[in-house]
Amino acid sequence: MKKLTLISTLIILSLTSCNSRFIENVEAGKKTKFGFEVTAPNKTVYFVENEKINTSQIESIKFKNTTNKLYNNYGPATDIFYIGRTNAKDLKFNLNDKTYYLEISKLPKRNAMVLFDGKHKPKIVFKSKKFEKLIKKIK
């Protein structure tokens, strides 16, 4: 019983920390305003900041240090994998017959990781403690 409760709790935590509800399914012809377009099978990890949301300088420094560490561990970019911080305003992902669009300014938190494995709808992750584990899964 304890094992079942633990598994249920872990599933709920993983579902709430990775969020895709801010990613819209759009027509393939939609243009980005100031951003990037990624097409499967390419894999990307973008570290983004919603500049409309204020945060402490300490939080901002922690996020930059975390992203720099992850870039140093998993970068630089290759033909099919990109990892890095960006000031893009929007991102577009093409996956077979579906196109997904994310406007960074609609995110509810300042800092996030946008993860695209080239096989599924992109994920948005807000908890920096989960970043590395998820990057390892797609790399």
Radius of gyration of the CA atoms of the chain, in A: 15
Domain that holds residue 118: 2-138
3-state secondary structure at position 7: helix
Residue 9 has pLDDT above 50, yes or no: no
**Residue 6 clears pLDDT 70, i.e. is over it:** no
Bridge-based pairing of strands 43-49 and 111-116 is antiparallel
Instruction: Tokens for 1, please give them.
Output: 């019983």
- C-beta of residue 37 within 8 angstroms of C-beta of residue 92: yes
Mean pLDDT, residues 58-66? 96
Number of domains in the chain: 1
- Cα 1 from Cα 124, distance rounded (Å): 32
**Which secondary-structure segment (H or E) carries 39?**
strand 35-39
Give pLDDT tens digits for 106-139.
Answer: 999 999 999 999 999 999 999 999 999 999 999 8
Supply φ then ψ for residue 115, to 5 degrees.
-115, 125
Identity of residue 15: L
Model confidence, pTM: 0.82
What count of other Cβ atoms lies within 10 Å of the Cβ of residue 115?
23
Chain position carrying tokens 């019983």: 1
User: How far is 49 from 118, CA to CA, in rounded Å?
Assistant: 22
